[in-house]
Structure 1
Amino acid sequence: MTQQFTIETDGPVATLTLDRAEKRNALALPFWEDFPAAIEELDKSGDIRAIVIAANGPLFCAGIDLSAFAGVAGDRSKLGAAAPLDFIEKVGRMQRTFTVLEEARVPVIAAIHGKCLGAGVDMITACDIRLATKDAAFSVYEIHIGMTADVGTFPRLLNHLPEGLVRELAYTGREMGAEEALRYGLVNHVHETHEDVISAAQDMARDIATKAPMAVHGCKRAITYSRDHKTKEALDYIGLWNASMLNPSELMTAAAAKQSGQPGQFAKLPQKTRLDEAGS
């Protein structure tokens, strides 16, 4: 695994920090394989209850590293008629890089500072919660380099912003500042400094980590399902979820924790293991 980012854990909270400051945290080819593998590894342990995505350097992310385009496109002449399929499959893998954030069992919080461009927008819109510094700015930057964003911008940005505004951002590539992003709901809160936003994200993650992991996971599943389905379908889904997952012992543990002020001893999310591993 290449050093595209670092990972630190503090009890049940993991912080993944983009760490190519000298390249403005542009996302090189190894990132698209290493990042989803790292998120899935954190998620499968059962010990991590929330993940924070942050970045080093003067800005959060400059988008895809332009050198990555050559690697994705490859030498199409060698593939002949199969070249389009090869390209589509590679793009699908890149789209999967951020889909793992939505599919993670635990909440993912983005702590954004400075500019967040292109694929950086794809990344943060796949997170559950977004916090930003007052100097943060977001841009669907792909239009400036003559391409249509294809790694997740439009389906996810439309979950957070009005369609007309998404069209404006896509067609012009203009920057949306933190206050505008807050006003429209793209970010939850705005903080003064880089240090402040990371601290706030980690505090929020620690707060989430005190709650019952199964209940938090159920909330994430239910909210995502409800966003993508009709109300009746979502109500049925939530009813079935609680019919199968709700455990009276978790309710009693939560009540005892609230009364005592001590952390609740909740059931952990199950560790994801191979089917042929002992104890699975």
Structure 2
Amino acid sequence: MTLTDAWKAFTVTTDAHVATVTLIGPNKGNAMGPDFWSELPLVFSALDADPEVRAIVLAGSGRNFSYGLDLPAMAGDFGAVMGDKAQAGPRSTFHDMIKRMQASINAVADCRKPVVAAVQGWCIGGGIDLISAADIRYASADAKFSVREVKVAIVADMGSFARLPAIIGDGHLRELALTGKDIDSARAQQIGLVNDVFDDAETVLAAAHATATEIAANPPLVVHGIKAVLDHGRVAAVQDSLRYVAAWNAAFLPSEDLTEAITSVFEKRPASFQGK
């Protein structure tokens, strides 16, 4: 079955109990714009409800997995709370938007069908949020990773801070989050961000499909139970972290530095932050 016409930001195909969800943009580097955030929970809700699907491969099209949040496409959503005159109404609306976007990533984590992410090229910001919601992560040798929100005056609020401590540990997460540095696939494997590294994009995708197929051969209700039991101990902490960062960002994220970050993206120049 192929469902390529139903979505603007994804293609979805299924074969032998394995679904493949592929990011397709529409903007450069599979950046996450409005279509991504609105369609992602619908895609994973449909796959969760489909009894023929037992495992999911999550991949990116082209040379890169994802450049993360599409700042130009989403800039308008930040506009209402920019500056020091934003009152409770605009901030409440902004808070609601953060919660909706968080729910999109949560749909991946909450899906009963195990998700295997295959990463090639760049995986930045929101891309890290997305793969942190997967159960298993593989990378190609050319993959690069960055929790880069600090570079654009944003506190990451889509799940990286909530989920990565259990994946890579607190110290590694703090290093990545506070510096915004890039790491390669070898370093990502060393710290546990990815399970394994493969030669290229074709090989990593094949490996993800092989693992998904192996999972799909197991009793599906038991697989659901394994996910539920493994997730149980951390669900409350994840949800608490997401609630806190949504409230923090609605209160404190709007700043001159954020305006400067967005402006610098449009003007294609380095940002100059003043702490205002």
**TM-score, scaled relative to structure 1:** 0.77
- The answer for the alignment partner of 2:248 in structure 1 is none
Kindly indicate whether residue 177 of structure 2 is the aligned counterpart of residue 170 of structure 1.
yes
Which sections of structure 1, spanning at least 5 residues, go unmatched? Answer: 231-280
SS at match of 2:167: coil
- The answer for the alignment partner of 2:127 in structure 1 is 120
CA distance in structure 2 between the partners assigned to 1:160 and 1:76 by the alignment: 33
- The answer for the alignment partner of 1:89 in structure 2 is 96
5 Å matches for 1:25-44? 25-44=30-49
CA distance in structure 1 between the partners assigned to 2:70 and 2:143 by the alignment: 20
Decide whether the 8 Å contact of 1:26 with 1:62 is kept in 2.
Answer: yes
Decide whether the 8 Å contact of 1:21 with 1:58 is kept in 2.
Answer: no
SS at match of 2:166: coil
Q: Could you give the per-residue CA deviations for residues 120-176 of structure 1, whole angstroms, max 9, x where no partner exists?
A: 000000000001011111101111112211111111111211212211111111112
CA distance in structure 1 between the partners assigned to 2:135 and 2:205 by the alignment: 15
Shift of 1:31: 0.9
Shift of 1:75: 3.4
Which sections of structure 2, spanning at least 5 residues, go unmatched? Answer: 1-5, 238-276
Shift of 1:5: 1.2
User: Which of 68, 75, 78 is the matching residue for 1:63?
Assistant: 68
Q: Could you give the per-residue CA deviations for residues 67-116 of structure 1, whole angstroms, max 9, x where no partner exists?
A: 24334235359985311111111100001111111111110010001110
CA distance in structure 2 between the partners assigned to 1:186 and 1:156 by the alignment: 11
Decide whether the 8 Å contact of 2:9 with 2:26 is kept in 1.
Answer: no
- The answer for the alignment partner of 1:106 in structure 2 is 113
Distance change >3 Å, CA 90–CA 116, structure 1 → 2: same
**TM-score, scaled relative to structure 2:** 0.79
SS at match of 1:160: helix
Q: Could you give the per-residue CA deviations for residues 182-234 of structure 1, whole angstroms, max 9, x where no partner exists?
A: 1121111110010001111011111111100001010001111134589xxxx
Q: How many residues align?
A: 230
5 Å matches for 1:122-137? 122-137=129-144
SS at match of 1:46: coil
Find the structure with the greater CA-based Rg. Answer: 1
Kindly indicate whether residue 226 of structure 2 is the aligned counterpart of residue 219 of structure 1.
yes
CA distance in structure 1 between the partners assigned to 2:17 and 2:179 by the alignment: 41
- Identity between Structure 1 and Structure 2 (%): 40
SS at match of 1:20: coil
CA distance in structure 2 between the partners assigned to 1:110 and 1:59 by the alignment: 13
> What residue identity is the alignment partner of 1:131?
Y
Q: Which segment drifts farther, 77-86 or 197-206?
A: 77-86
Kindly indicate whether residue 171 of structure 2 is the aligned counterpart of residue 191 of structure 1.
no
SS at match of 2:11: strand
Distance change >3 Å, CA 228–CA 76, structure 1 → 2: closer
